Amino acid sequence: MSFEVNFDGLIGPNHNYSGLAFGNLASSRNAKNTSSPKQAALQGLEKMRTLLKLGYKQGFMLPQERPDLSVLREIGFEGDDAQILKAVSEQAPHLLSMVYSASSMWAANAATVTPSNDSADGKVHFTPANLLTTSHRAIEHKQTQRCLEAIFNDKDAFTVHAALPSITRFADEGAANHTRLCKDYESQGVGLFVYGRDDNTDLNELRFPARQTLDASASIARQHTLPGERAVYLQQSAVAINAGAFHNDVVAVGNGPVLFYHQDAYEVPSQEAAFAKLDKLVEGFTAIEVPREKVSLDDAITSYLFNSQLLASPDGSMNELRIVAPTECRDNDNVRRYLEELAQDTSQPIRHVEFVDVRQSMSNGGGPACLRLRVALSEEEIAKVNPAFLLDDAKIDALKSVVEKHYREELNPEDLFDPAFITECQQALNALTEVMGIAPFYDFQRS
């Protein structure tokens, strides 16, 4: 048996609204607002518990070490932590929010994953995303690689690659622009790689950056030994990018043989060619198009309809799929009506809709699907995953206790200038690793 295991990014004690991501409209709207790290982390843990209760296998990824003062040292700041903080606050305060960013919580951007059923060498492959389009995310991939190597530490079963070169041609945003489609988890699948730009893209037509390149997607397919005919490339539409769909997972989500997408998600010629290939390669391929007349692109983006998790049944069956959507979808009349109609439509397999409250994450620009990295694994491969990162109720309770003790109820932008907050974040991260039995993990724990 094979299953999809969701590894959610555990939200860190530094969760703040800095509005750093140009093109992410929710992030921009809430820039400089007061955040609640405690509420954010508890909401994320409750989502993980919800999936566990429904019978799904659930893992997690640790928050990254923040602030990442190593970045500031690399660009010329010297001294101990407090001295560096003081110098940055006086000379370049705009850099502080970059090294304090909590964006690694969105694990869908952590990496691209190819299961062993698809790779030519029979191993599960991971490539951390270089995320070079935004400076606060471009600093993540080294810590992401370390985390993935800790979780998937059996080199006979798993290969964790380094990120692609940090060159504009190879801009990569991870699984947010990649969907694995297959008859079922036992079958060989197809990697659907969605990109925003290639050599023929007129960048003058784009209001916001096209973050994923065709060259990056093709490079990952090669790295992962994915046979050429099993990689399908599809271009995201300029209309979607300009409306604020900075990743494909803002306008589409797929699982098994089903691709659920907005009518305006893709460039039409590219869509026709890609769907023709998917019809041949994926048995039972089902494309569910959400018409703009029922759900406008604006409604889709503001509610994050497509940033929902699309799940098979807990046993892996594709006959009854479940959407786990943010509560913002329930609160949007057009989206709620559409989902109610969809669940009653027996011509397609989506039968259940669950709503989860991840408002703190949503306010920073990421929904339920952003918070998780999907990994299709056989039972034998699950047994080779570092068990510290696989969750049950007791582990969630343990993580919750750390959050309740060490995370702030409120965090204001000016709090990042307080040297004591560095110590506070380290104490929280130290407690998380200790309670899960995986310390030392962070650089500060080794120094």
The reply to whether 24 sits in an annotated binding site is yes
The answer to whether 178 is a known catalytic residue is no
The answer to whether 94 is a known catalytic residue is no
Q: Catalytic residue among 247, 328, 381, 406, which?
A: 247
Whole-angstrom distance, CA of residue 188 vs CA of residue 182: 7
The reply to whether 331 sits in an annotated binding site is no
Whole-angstrom distance, CA of residue 63 vs CA of residue 144: 10
- Could you tell me which residues come within 8 angstroms of residue 430 by beta carbon, excluding any fewer than 6 positions away? 439, 442, 445
Nearest to 414 by CA among 69, 105, 97, 101: 97
The reply to whether 19 sits in an annotated binding site is yes
The reply to whether 366 sits in an annotated binding site is no
The reply to whether 136 sits in an annotated binding site is yes
The reply to whether 18 sits in an annotated binding site is yes
The reply to whether 54 sits in an annotated binding site is no
Q: Catalytic residue among 173, 182, 224, 406, which?
A: 173
The answer to whether 410 is a known catalytic residue is no
The reply to whether 265 sits in an annotated binding site is no
Q: How far is CA 279 from the centre of its chain?
A: 27
Q: Catalytic residue among 224, 370, 406, 425, which?
A: 370
The reply to whether 214 sits in an annotated binding site is no
Please report, in angstroms and rounded to a whole number, the separation of the first and last CA atoms in the chain: 43
Q: ∠12-130-151 over CA atoms, to 5°?
A: 55
The reply to whether 122 sits in an annotated binding site is no
Tell me if 7 sits within 8 A of 59, measured CB to CB.
yes
Q: Would you state the structure tokens that stand for residue 267, as one six-digit string?
A: 């460039």
- Could you tell me which residues come within 8 angstroms of residue 75 by beta carbon, excluding any fewer than 6 positions away? none
The reply to whether 204 sits in an annotated binding site is no
The reply to whether 27 sits in an annotated binding site is yes
Tell me if 249 sits within 8 A of 307, measured CB to CB.
yes
As a whole number of Å, the CA-based R_g of the chain is 21
The reply to whether 307 sits in an annotated binding site is no
The reply to whether 96 sits in an annotated binding site is no
Which residues participate in the annotated binding site?
Answer: 18-27, 109, 136-137, 211, 249, 364
Which residues participate in the annotated binding site for substrate?
Answer: 18-27, 109, 136-137, 211, 249, 364
Known catalytic residues are 173, 247, 370
